[in-house]
């Protein structure tokens, strides 16, 4: 339940010039798992100026705020978010190419960015063609495929920091490493990114992209809602026990279910929503996978997917999953 004070502050915020605003927006409409309750206030800004205004107001009034892109790496709680969800999407999605430099808005759709770079004869983003998120989310997660990350191509990132100041960070300040950037956990908003690519042959670049898409079509579940790879991979993991999908399959967990959440029959590092899965179904399934892999293979799987709490914290989903599992056992034992 929203407090009167929060409700009053959200009314005041919504009355400002901050882009598109919707009260009580269902978050299941804004993530690829199709899970989650409603956000008290859902905002899609048009500019860095509006973002700064929203952040300053939220900090001053202590309103919880969550930044999202396409929600392809997020698990929202069934209770939703008591505060603001700020979506950086197609209102901030310009892409400009000049020579080997690309400047893309934080809300730009990654496959579109990859396609435009290919059409301009620029190589380097082939590995991003099948990633269904926004540029802001990709930079935040240092996403990529074929063991690469977007950070390799970043020149600088324009952000609005947690308290509403516009800043530009260099690649080294972003401190990119495997699925990590120093932007994580800072509460900043990625407004745009400057990328550098190398000149290449359009035909070859297109071929690389088609190959990547074919591989994905073959390997990944496409019909049921999912959030891509649930667990993180790493070089150390590959050399010791293998990639997460292989490890989960070897532990006999393909097809394992909690409620309406299922370990995909097609790729074991994916959890699919069979229809109406709750956030608790997914969390308990994550906890079960971790526990069985720990017992059978002696490896501690950590999540790439982030859980968003009703209070607006964003944490790796396994941290919440372990807590949810303990609470569930406690409840089940009737203590
Ligand atoms: C079918 C499928 C395949 C996938 N394949 C891959 C893959 O090959 N490689 C890979 O790396 N990922 C993959 N993913 C995961 C996901 O697409 C990426 O992590 C993507 O970069 C997330 O972008 P998003 O816009 O959806 O971000 P969201 O899921 O909305 O958010 C992810 C994180 O970024 C933050 N964030 C988002 N936008 C901004 C912004 N503008 N400013 C500040 N913070 C922001 C959020 O707060 C959150 O912490 C896949 C997902 C699916 C569903």
The residue whose C-alpha atom lies closest to atom 8 belonging to ligand 1 is 145
CATH number at 103 reads 3.30.465.10
pLDDT of residue 124 exceeding 70: yes
Catalogue the E-assigned strands of the chain: 20-26, 38-44, 65-68, 74-76, 81-87, 95-98, 101-105, 122-123, 154-160, 166-170, 189-196, 198-199, 257-258, 261-263, 271-273, 306-308, 314-316
Domain containing 99: what range? 92-205
Of 26, 54, 87, the domain-final residue: 87
Residue pair 124/152 in contact by the 8 Å Cβ criterion? yes
**32 plus 116 within the same structural domain:** no
179 is a domain residue: yes
| Residue-averaged pLDDT of the chain | 95
212 is a domain residue: no
**16 plus 46 within the same structural domain:** yes
pLDDT of residue 198 exceeding 60: yes
**99 plus 45 within the same structural domain:** no
Nearest to 91 by CA among 158, 138, 45, 41: 45
pLDDT of residue 234 exceeding 90: no
Q: How many domains does the chain have?
A: 3
pTM of the model: 0.96
Which atom from ligand 1 is nearest to the alpha carbon of 140? 34
Q: What's residue 313's pLDDT? A: 97
Could you tell me the distance, in angstroms and rounded to a whole number, from the CA of residue 268 to the centre of ligand 1? 19
**69 plus 103 within the same structural domain:** no
**78 plus 10 within the same structural domain:** yes
Which atom from ligand 1 is nearest to the alpha carbon of 88? 41
Name the band, by pLDDT with cuts 50, 70 and 90, for residue 267. Answer: very high
Instruction: Express as a percent the part of the chain with pLDDT over 70.
Output: 98
Active-site residue, selected from the candidate residues 82, 115, 179, 306 = 179
The residue whose C-alpha atom lies closest to atom 3 belonging to ligand 1 is 228
Which atom from ligand 1 is nearest to the alpha carbon of 220? 1
State how far the Cα of 156 lies from the Cα of 150, in Å rounded to an integer: 12
220 is a domain residue: no
pLDDT of residue 333 exceeding 50: no
Question: Does the active-site annotation cover 229?
Answer: yes
Question: Does the active-site annotation cover 179?
Answer: yes
CATH number at 310 reads 3.90.78.10
Question: Does the active-site annotation cover 304?
Answer: yes
Residue pair 111/132 in contact by the 8 Å Cβ criterion? yes
Q: What's residue 115's pLDDT? A: 98
Residue ranges around ligand 1 (CB below 6 Å): 32, 67-74, 88, 106, 131-134, 136-138, 140-141, 143-145, 189-190, 220, 226-228, 306, 314
pLDDT in tens, 37-82: 999 999 999 999 999 999 999 999 999 999 999 999 999 999 999 9
Active-site residue, selected from the candidate residues 229, 264, 278, 279 = 229
State how far the Cα of 231 lies from the Cα of 267, in Å rounded to an integer: 12
**57 plus 101 within the same structural domain:** no
Could you tell me the distance, in angstroms and rounded to a whole number, from the CA of residue 149 to the centre of ligand 1? 12
Active-site residue, selected from the candidate residues 44, 126, 262, 304 = 304
Which atom from ligand 1 is nearest to the alpha carbon of 67? 47
Q: Which helix (H) or strand (E) holds 283?
A: helix 279-297
158 is a domain residue: yes
Name the band, by pLDDT with cuts 50, 70 and 90, for residue 326. Answer: confident
Could you tell me the distance, in angstroms and rounded to a whole number, from the CA of residue 71 to the centre of ligand 1? 6
Could you tell me the distance, in angstroms and rounded to a whole number, from the CA of residue 228 to the centre of ligand 1? 9
* Mean pLDDT across 6-16: 97
215 is a domain residue: no
């Amino acid at each position: 339940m929203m407090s009167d004070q929060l409700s009053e502050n959200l009314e005041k915020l919504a009355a400002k010039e901050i882009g598109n605003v919707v009260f009580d927006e269902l978050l299941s409409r804004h993530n690829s798992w199709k899970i989650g309750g409603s956000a008290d206030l859902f905002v899609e800004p048009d500019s860095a100026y509006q973002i700064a205004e929203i952040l300053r107001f939220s900090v001053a009034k202590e309103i919880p705020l969550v930044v999202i892109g396409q929600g392809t790496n997020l698990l929202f709680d069934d209770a939703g978010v008591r505060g603001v969800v700020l979506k950086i999407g197609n209102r901030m999605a310009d892409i400009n190419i000049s020579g080997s430099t690309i400047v893309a808005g934080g809300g730009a759709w990654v496959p579109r960015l990859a396609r435009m770079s290919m059409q301009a004869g620029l190589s380097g983003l082939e590995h991003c063609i099948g990633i269904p998120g926004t540029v802001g989310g990709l930079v935040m997660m240092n996403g990529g495929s074929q063991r690469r990350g977007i950070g390799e191509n970043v020149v600088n990132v324009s952000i609005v920091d947690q308290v509403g100041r516009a800043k530009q960070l260099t690649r080294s300040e972003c401190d990119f490493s495997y699925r990590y950037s120093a932007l994580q956990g800072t509460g900043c908003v990625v407004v745009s990114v400057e990328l550098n690519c190398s000149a290449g042959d359009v035909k070859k670049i297109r071929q690389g992209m088609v190959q990547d898409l074919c591989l994905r079509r073959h390997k990944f579940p496409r019909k049921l809602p999912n959030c891509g790879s649930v667990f993180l991979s790493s070089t150390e993991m590959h050399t010791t026990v293998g990639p997460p999908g292989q490890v989960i399959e070897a532990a006999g967990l393909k097809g394992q279910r909690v409620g309406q959440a299922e370990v995909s029959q097609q790729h074991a590092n994916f959890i699919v929503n069979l229809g109406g899965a709750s956030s608790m179904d997914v969390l308990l399934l994550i906890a079960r996978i971790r526990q069985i892999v720990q017992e059978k293979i002696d490896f501690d799987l950590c999540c790439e997917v982030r859980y968003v709490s009703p209070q607006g914290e964003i944490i790796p989903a396994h941290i919440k999953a372990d807590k949810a599992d303990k609470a569930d056992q406690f409840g089940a034992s009737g203590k």
